[in-house]
Every structure is written in C-alpha cells, then in structure tokens.
Amino acid sequence: MNKNLITVLYNKKHRFDEVEILLSKKNIISNKKLFLRLSKEYNELLKIVKYFKQWLNINKNIYNTRKLANVIELKDLVTEELQLCNKNKLVIENKIINILSKEERISRYGCFLEIRAGTGGNEASLFASDLLHMYIQFSESKNWRTEIINTNYNHLGGYKEIIIKINDEYAYDYLMFESGGHRVQRVPVTESQGRIHTSTCTVAVIPVAQESKISINNNDLRIDSFRSSGAGGQHVNTTNSAIRITHIPTGLTVECQDERSQHKNKAKAMSVLIARLNNLKLKEKQKKEVLTRRTLLGSGDRSDRIRTYNFPQRRVTDHRINLTLYCLEDIFNGKLDLIIQPLVNFYFK
C-alpha cells in the first residue's frame, strides 16, 4: 500500500481510539443524539480498523521472521512463513481497498452520462453516436433503464452533444471509469481517399444527486424557453417547449428539449443541474482530502485521454492500465466488461 493510504489508515485508527474513549464517558452516554452518532461512526471505523490492525501485525511478523533468515537450520521454515505472511498480507490489503472504495461510492441513484463531440468535426459527431450505442447496449445487457435527457444533433446523423440518464443504483459504480477523453482512429464516411483520421469525444459520468441534499436558491437561476431544434416533429419545432437553465453563481448551463412539455423539460434540466452542482461540490471536497478513490485512479478530468479505438487494427487500448484488446466490434456492441473489469481489478483488488 502507498504512503498516502497508510497515513489515512493511521488517521482512521486514531479516530477510532478517540471515539471508543468518548463512548465510555457519562456525558456522552446521557446525550442520546450524540451517542447514536458516535456509535454509528464507531461501527463504520471498526470495519476497516480491524483489518488495519491485522495488517500491522502481519508486517511485524514479517519483520521478526526476516531476522531469522540467516539461521541456516531455519531457512526453509523462514521461507515458508514469509510466503504465508505475504499471502495473508495481500488478502488484507484487498479487503482494505474494497472497503475504502465502497465508502466512497457516492451514488445509489444512477448517473447521468454526457457525451460531447471534440476535435474532428462531423466524424467526431458520428463517433459520439457510436459511443452512445456502446453505452446503450451495455446498459441493456445489465437490464438498466436509460432515458434521453437532451440531444444536439449533427446534420449527418451524429451528435454534437447528448445526455442520457441511467436509472440503476449501481450504474455509477460501473461507469465512473468512462469519464475522460475517448479517441477514434478510422477512415471517416466523408473521406474519399481512404485516409485514416483521428477524432475525439469527451465523456462525463456524473452521479445522480439526492435533491434533498442540494439547496438551490431560485434567485440564482435564470430560466429561458426557446423553440426546439432537430428531430421531434412539427409540435416540438414550433412551440417554446425547450428549456435552458443557468445557475448564475457557477455559470453552469443545462438545456433540455426532448419532451413536448415545457414542464417536463424543466424537470429534466433541473435534475441534471442538481447532479452537476453536486459533482462540483464533491470535486471541491476531494481537493481538501488526502485520499479519495480518484487519487487512486488519477484526475479523471474530461481532458484526459483514457482510451483509443483503432478500427484498422480492430484494437481498443485503455491508456490508464496499458490494456490492449483486439475485439473492437464486441466492445462497441456493449461488451464493456472486457475493459471495466480489468480496471476494477487493477485499482481495487
């Protein structure tokens, strides 16, 4: 385990010891509300502190056993003991990492998945459409329900931007690895000379926030209505049913135009805005903390290039873990577990 992680575990152990002492004090016991809060914290800390204590004991045993390595008569016994200790140590470390990752699961209410065309013009918009198909297929394989929140079409049939909501409590835990820059290398349909082009899209996966935890002042919102554009029929294109909500303090803007009802578009736009504000709040919190799961994963910013899809070689490469697979068609048809599972194994097991 790295130094940051060990520091966090020592801090948790120190807090555990503090809470244990507090719970024995009469003034705490008589304060039911405080006693319940501290009891809950104690039980949460106990889950990981017990494994950390085991890890410390194993390290101590390894240290003492290595002192006997120079004793010839005990060489075989020492080797066997060290192998067993290292095996047990790895098991404990896996349990600690899994507990930490579960602690940081910030969503049990699904997620929003936003895809935006980057460099590459029309080809980037078509690539965005392909990524959408990939995520829809993956969601269907998991029996997750998807809902289109907003679309901004390209005239060739792709998307300049599309936002979907995935309504499953485990969706964010699976798809959090998808946030970042995605790159495609292929011959575009618009290319007459058969040259390979490189285009990009950005993907952002944002957990759905509980509205009760996010307070928004109506005076901080500017709500505009306008006529929808793109596909949707005569009614959608000739009424002011589309909604744009701007959160003035942060400058965040959300549009929704896929519903015929202005009320429904407003509700959808508000749900996206709340999720983005919650995500912004979480990022600010993470800057102040020593360890979060994103410390283990990397920054996860949209500008990071995380993956390349190379069509001529049928190759998909995830640059974070140097994983290369030659099954591009399977992945674009929704078999994302081929990439997601190795990522989970690398970071949390």
The mean predicted confidence, pLDDT, of the chain is 82
Domain check: are 160 and 231 in the same one? yes
**What's the average model confidence in pLDDT over 80-97?**
88
What CA–CA distance (Å, rounded) separates 85 from 133?
47
Give the pair of three-digit tokens for residue 203: 């993907």
Domain check: are 49 and 79 in the same one? yes
Domain check: are 68 and 142 in the same one? no
Domain check: are 125 and 11 in the same one? no
Residue 346 inside a domain? The answer is no
> Rounded to 5 degrees, what angle do the CA atoms 3, 299, 307 make?
120
**47 vs 139: which has the higher pLDDT:** 139
Domain check: are 145 and 208 in the same one? yes
How many independent structural domains does the chain possess?
2
Residue 63 inside a domain? The answer is yes
pLDDT at residue 303 greater than cutoff 70: no
Final residue before a domain boundary, out of 54, 82, 103: 103
pLDDT at residue 332 greater than cutoff 70: yes
Domain check: are 267 and 190 in the same one? yes
3-state secondary structure 48-67: HHHHHHHHHHHHHHHHHHHC
Q: What is the pLDDT of residues 141-172, one digit of tens each?
A: 989 999 998 888 887 778 999 999 998 877 88
CATH for 292: 3.30.70.1660
Q: What is the pLDDT of residue 210?
A: 59
Domain check: are 187 and 231 in the same one? yes
Q: Which domain holds residue 47?
A: 3-103
The confidence band for 318, taking pLDDT boundaries of 50, 70 and 90, is very high
What CA–CA distance (Å, rounded) separates 323 from 176?
17
Domain check: are 228 and 250 in the same one? yes
Residue 130 inside a domain? The answer is yes
Give the pair of three-digit tokens for residue 293: 């799961």
Residue 322 inside a domain? The answer is no
Residue 147 inside a domain? The answer is yes
Residue 342 inside a domain? The answer is no
CATH for 60: 1.20.58
**What's the average model confidence in pLDDT over 27-44?**
88
Q: What is the pLDDT of residue 339?
A: 93
Q: Residues 207, 279: contact at Cβ < 8 Å?
A: yes
The confidence band for 289, taking pLDDT boundaries of 50, 70 and 90, is very low
Q: What is the pLDDT of residues 209-256, one digit of tens each?
A: 655 456 788 888 898 888 776 554 444 455 678 889 999 888 889 988
Domain check: are 160 and 283 in the same one? yes
Q: Is the pTM of this model over 0.75?
A: no
